[in-house]
Structure 1
């Protein structure tokens, strides 16, 4: 893997797939990077008019593109902003985001996004990045799109090997092609079984996480654990089942990543409807449980709406 060094402040820098830890160039949302200060950055992104997974629904861009766009900023800033070598890995601790629905309306051209990022609480061990927090404001042209905060840690390959132990060699690419029978796609707001990440858990509000290691977006490259964005998608789909048959357009999510979710044993997704709901909205507490312990928790807020027509896919 290449070693990246801090980039000077003069002029924007283009973003390669290696900088955002993607194998497919088509999955790279970020388009440019520029340092604005010691811990301040501007990152640009482009959301496509259609996407194989995060597609336009009911005339609006998928709100989870906010989460994925911010996620791609984590390795980008680690490498270019703080000099982390290319083989270092970043581990999510938390992610909170919200989005303005009006700014999600899709147009006849891709959406141009600007992220103003301020980093805080930067921790180094020697001259190496160990952890930092990011506060992000997202703009679409001159319209406020949303905001996000996140914190993550950064680790060398040797540290990751110690953390993961024997699990470091259990890769998603080696998983069996067939998993548990998925829930009906329309129930979770999807139109293709391959995009469903939940199966029946045998009780009301309880589901089993469904992991397809060959999914071209959720597993763009091989990993040794369930990716954070798969857990975020599971929280979205669990919320959708509670809103069914309406569509639930996610407007905010506050997530905590407590521990790795492993491939070799079941993970349950438990969704609880929160009290005090208004007819137009639904809020849930979603917990991913493995070995009887919470591995991931999310508070999800969504607005109910009419069920959309079929998604239009680019392939």
Structure 2
């Protein structure tokens, strides 16, 4: 399917009111017509690689130019996992929205078939917290997306970079960017044969979580770090049964789990709740489910009177898997 707009217009069955507000008799000519506004729905969940409709943030899109689009979204005031941070929408919710926008446009506007696999190389978010405050209604951000470095393969593409500006009520609430490649199912099976075929390794047993309050969480089931004997070093805790972090079966640790590990590591490292204002991540290889992934953190800006930057690194078998730099308010 390829489309340049997505909108639902659905007439509701209702009697036509008369000029006095009472329903007109059968066959009578109405003197006034009630107009119903268009109804909101999410985009198909398959376009954003989610199994649960509840985890779809996007509600529509429109092409403005060859590589220029707008995408509409809705952020709930209270989400089942993305935390309310000091009265603000979670910056990781913004990151998830950017991820979904890239997938949506790849499938609908660049003809990437459903079933293709995506590999994210980088994802960045810079927020303006004053425009991410939670109000009395769900937020309805408008997302401007410009795609570049589009790599073509036949009638589809093999990758692209997107730059994003997210506006809320006319104000810029966040900016961001992401780069990804996409591969066919056959290529992915060859690439990941040792991890997906017969005899594929099983995930590590689930390790004990840190105390939820130490990483800004309320429930131990939402903690993705386990303690180690080394200061400012933790083991990634990947609960493949988690209904949001592992929305559907995968053969590796999703990038959003790594971002959450970076956020929790920052909170534990600084020993205080924090609101990330910028998250810049680079992913260098698949994070495997059957190998311990160690997460380390150290401060790049030591002056606690200023916004602090923390560098988080994930390693498996002493090989870097990802790096994230988080800037946080004081």
Relative to the length of structure 1, the TM-score reads 0.90
User: Of the candidates 28, 53, 66, which is equivalent to residue 25 of structure 1?
Assistant: 53
**1:312 corresponding residue in structure 2:** none
Describe the superposition over 1:122-170 as per-residue Cα deviations: whole angstroms up to 9, x where unpaired: 0012222111000000011111101001110011001111111221259
**2:211 corresponding residue in structure 1:** 184
Residues 171-250 of structure 1: pairs in structure 2 closer than 5 A: 175=203, 179-244=206-271, 246-250=272-276
The 3-state SS of whatever aligns with 1:211 is coil
Q: 1:113 to 1:186 in 2, by over 3 A?
A: same
Q: State whether residues 118 and 134 of structure 1, in contact with CA within 8 Å, keep that contact through their aligned partners in structure 2.
A: yes
CA displacement at 1:260 relative to structure 2: 0.4
**1:132 corresponds to 2:160:** yes
What 5-or-longer segments of structure 2 have no aligned partner? 9-41
**2:291 corresponding residue in structure 1:** 265
Q: Which moved more, 1:228-237 or 1:56-65?
A: 56-65
Q: 1:242 to 1:282 in 2, by over 3 A?
A: farther
CA displacement at 1:274 relative to structure 2: 1.1
Relative to the length of structure 2, the TM-score reads 0.86
The 3-state SS of whatever aligns with 2:141 is strand
User: Of the candidates 307, 323, 327, which is equivalent to residue 281 of structure 1?
Assistant: 307
Q: 1:241 to 1:11 in 2, by over 3 A?
A: closer
Q: Which moved more, 1:161-170 or 1:18-27?
A: 161-170
Describe the superposition over 1:225-267 as per-residue Cα deviations: whole angstroms up to 9, x where unpaired: 00000000000000001221x2110110111010001111101
Q: State whether residues 49 and 110 of structure 1, in contact with CA within 8 Å, keep that contact through their aligned partners in structure 2.
A: yes
Q: Which moved more, 1:223-232 or 1:65-74?
A: 65-74
Figure out how many residues of one structure are paired with residues of the other and give that number.
296
Residues 1-315 of structure 1: pairs in structure 2 closer than 5 A: 4=1, 6-8=2-4, 12=7, 15-169=43-197, 175=203, 179-244=206-271, 246-304=272-330
The 3-state SS of whatever aligns with 1:202 is coil
> Residues of 2 paired with 1:269 and 1:123: CA distance?
33
CA displacement at 1:171 relative to structure 2: 12
Q: State whether residues 161 and 168 of structure 1, in contact with CA within 8 Å, keep that contact through their aligned partners in structure 2.
A: yes
CA RMSD of aligned residues (A): 1.8
Q: State whether residues 144 and 166 of structure 2, in contact with CA within 8 Å, keep that contact through their aligned partners in structure 1.
A: yes
Describe the superposition over 1:1-48 as per-residue Cα deviations: whole angstroms up to 9, x where unpaired: xxx3x314x664761111111111001000111111110110011000
CA displacement at 1:59 relative to structure 2: 1.4
Q: State whether residues 171 and 223 of structure 1, in contact with CA within 8 Å, keep that contact through their aligned partners in structure 2.
A: no
What 5-or-longer segments of structure 1 have no aligned partner? 305-315
**1:307 corresponding residue in structure 2:** none
Where is the strand percentage greater, Structure 1 or Structure 2? 1
Flag the structure with larger Rg.
Answer: 2
> Which of structures 1 and 2 has the larger relative contact order (alpha carbons within 8 angstroms, sep 6+)?
1
> Residues of 2 paired with 1:282 and 1:123: CA distance?
37
Q: State whether residues 51 and 247 of structure 2, in contact with CA within 8 Å, keep that contact through their aligned partners in structure 1.
A: yes
Q: State whether residues 22 and 220 of structure 1, in contact with CA within 8 Å, keep that contact through their aligned partners in structure 2.
A: yes
Q: State whether residues 74 and 90 of structure 1, in contact with CA within 8 Å, keep that contact through their aligned partners in structure 2.
A: no
Q: State whether residues 90 and 155 of structure 1, in contact with CA within 8 Å, keep that contact through their aligned partners in structure 2.
A: yes
